[in-house]
A and B are shown apart, each in its own frame.
Chain A
Amino acid sequence: MAKRIDVKDLNIFYGKFHAVDGVTLAVPPRSVTAFIGPSGCGKSTVLRSLNRMHEVTPGARVEGKVLLDGEDIYASSVDPVEVRRTIGMVFQRPNPFPTMSIRDNVVAGLKLAGVSNRKQLNEVAERSLRGANLWAEVKDRLDKPGGSLSGGQQQRLCIARAIAVQPDVLLMDEPCSALDPISTLAIEDLIGELKKDFTIVIVTHNMQQAARVSDQTAFFNLAGVGQPGKLVEIDDTEKIFSNPNQQATEDYISGRFG
């Protein structure tokens, strides 16, 4: 349950393109860390390298270390499938499996891992849906397709699906950017509750959101077009938003660029 992440000197490349340069940061367990920064500075890239999801992109590779409770997830003996089971992910656009019912969506991870005990699956489905604050809305239509829900509900369904496999860490890439303010609020509340059990890293373009939900904030920036993105600073959210160490952070947060 809820492990810490230490990133050490992480460089990420897409083929020859050096996308992210020398990121070092630490994410304590049971906390929310927000990644902010202008578009293209490598927030998603860093996030995806935390559970080796970038390997899906042909030509993408990393140098450096990512430690999960001290264990290097890039060690040659480590199975990327196992890494992704331990470090779950929620995406920008809600993406429930279109062929599955709401219930099957939630327990998809378990089912595909071979769990077939109906009682156990139903229990996990209910617990995860409750955990994602969706149970009350869908409990009477668990057999309806996942695509029949509203966008905000679908995103919470995706969160339920991600927590159903009981990961240690939850990565979220702009989980609210496709949602209306009410659904966004629902998800922000949810993140506040989820951090009791999970370590959470969230990418967001919404400064208020970062300030509201996160314990610490990492600001990434880009020296120029074609240059690699860099981590400018990471600190307690309060500090970043009131009195950052770097001028660039203050400029970005106060809306002077980006």
Chain B
Amino acid sequence: MTTTESTLDRPASPPAFQPVSGARKTKNLVATVLVGLAFLVAVVPLVWLLITVVAKGFTALLSADWWTHSLKGVLPEEFTGGVYHAIIGTLLQTLVCALIAVPVGVLAAIYLVEYGRGRLARTTTFMVDILSGVPSIVAALFVFALWIGTFGLGQSAFAVSLSLVLLMLPVVVRSTEEMLRLVPQELREASYALGVPKWKTIVKIVLPTALSGVVTGVMLAMARVMGETAPVLVLVGYSKSINFNIFDGNMTSLPLLIYTELTNPLPAGQLRVWGAALTLIILIMLFNLVATVVSRFSAIKTK
């Protein structure tokens, strides 16, 4: 009897949409909480780090001397002087590195994408893979052995730049390669169909189309090597004064200054450490910002 009743009570056909089951609600909740936690784990240390650096180094950046003076003649306990020499050092070493790594890297990427076939291309790709896995200290040691050991040349900022090249090159090759591969084959063929030779197609059609991405990749790679510390510890000496000569003499960069001032336990030294750290972060952020602006600016317009 009861069965008949319940059958009669039921609607003729079941509703199309069932309510969300309890099990699914629980799963959803668990997943949401897990994702939220993972997000916190990722973000909290980052924010914490930024707050620490800003809190401890901020006051150093407020004086005009910080941006315009070196530490020449400044005693360990004095709060005067600045990191102008280290900013110059960091920028010079990165710039010289980029001057070498960008042409070589972009040309290598062009070779790989546009011409590379067979064994040479495979070998190049393999080498780039290996290079991108080389730790910075190993790159520094290699340049040390070659430049200072084999060639008998002295420590210099240029040696630092050379080892930075080893670190920057694979990044430039990779990012440029990716950007060039994004250029549709049809554009190349359209150019060939106009009777444009291959090299001209690459220079005038393919590269301009990929330019924005290539520039962004280069800027990010520069920002990346800017903070490299191992090469400056191994390949160049510390100096308290300004040096523009990359081939001769000691040249301080921000990482080197931080490392050196760490041995100074006085409050002035600590302030310089955190101030330089904050300066380095700002410098790298500026580069990333410029990368964004440049890529916006050179991006392909459709309006």
Contact = CB atoms under 8 A, between A and B. Distances in A.
A158 B190 contact: yes
B208 A51 contact: no
A81 B195 contact: yes
A85 B194 contact: yes
Contacts of B301: 145, 147
B195 A86 contact: yes
Contact of B192 (A56, A93, A113, A161): A56
B302 interface: yes
B104 interface: no
Interface stretch (A95-103, A227-235, A238-246): A95-103
A93 B209 contact: no
A226 interface: no
Contact of B300 (A56, A145, A162): A145
Contacts of B204: 112
B188 A56 contact: yes
Nearest to A171: B193
A91 B186 CA distance: 8
Interface of B: 117, 184-197, 200, 204-205, 208-209, 211, 300-303
B193 A97 contact: no
A51 B193 contact: yes
A98 B209 contact: yes
Given A99-B208, A99-B209, A112-B204, A165 B194 contact: yes
A162 B185 CA distance: 17
A111 to B, nearest CB: 8
Contacts of B185: 56
B205 A58 contact: no
A140 B208 CA distance: 25
16 contacts: A85-B194, A86-B195, A89-B193, A95-B190, A97-B187, A98-B187, A98-B302, A99-B208, A99-B211, A108-B191, A109-B195, A109-B196, A112-B194, A145-B300, A165-B194, A165-B195
A81 B186 contact: no
Contacts of A165: 194-195
A40 B124 CA distance: 36
Interface of A: 51, 53, 56, 58, 81-82, 84-86, 88-89, 91, 93, 95, 97-99, 108-109, 112-113, 144-145, 147-148, 158, 161-162, 165
Contacts of B187: 95, 97-98
A91 B194 contact: no
A53 B189 contact: yes
B196 A81 contact: yes
Given A58-B117, A165-B195, 20 more contacts: A56-B185, A81-B192, A81-B195, A81-B197, A82-B195, A85-B194, A88-B193, A89-B189, A89-B193, A98-B187, A98-B302, A99-B205, A99-B208, A99-B300, A109-B196, A112-B191, A112-B200, A145-B300, A162-B194, A165-B194
* 8 tightest A-B CB contacts, nearest first: A85-B195, A109-B194, A89-B193, A95-B186, A147-B302, A99-B208, A98-B300, A112-B196
Contacts of B200: 112
A94 B224 CA distance: 39
Contacts of A84: 192-195
B194 A53 contact: no
Nearest to A109: B194
Nearest to B303: A148
A86 B195 CA distance: 8
A84 B195 CA distance: 5
A145 B188 contact: no
Contacts of A112: 191, 194, 196, 200, 204
B142 to A, nearest CB: 36
Contacts of A56: 185, 188-189, 192
B189 A145 contact: no
Contacts of A51: 193
Contacts of B211: 99
Contacts of B184: 95
B283 to A, nearest CB: 31
A113 B209 contact: no
Given A99-B208, A112-B200, A91 B190 contact: yes
A148 B302 CA distance: 5
Nearest to A167: B195
B194 A161 contact: yes
Given A84-B194, A85-B195, A91 B303 contact: no
Contacts of B300: 98-99, 145, 147
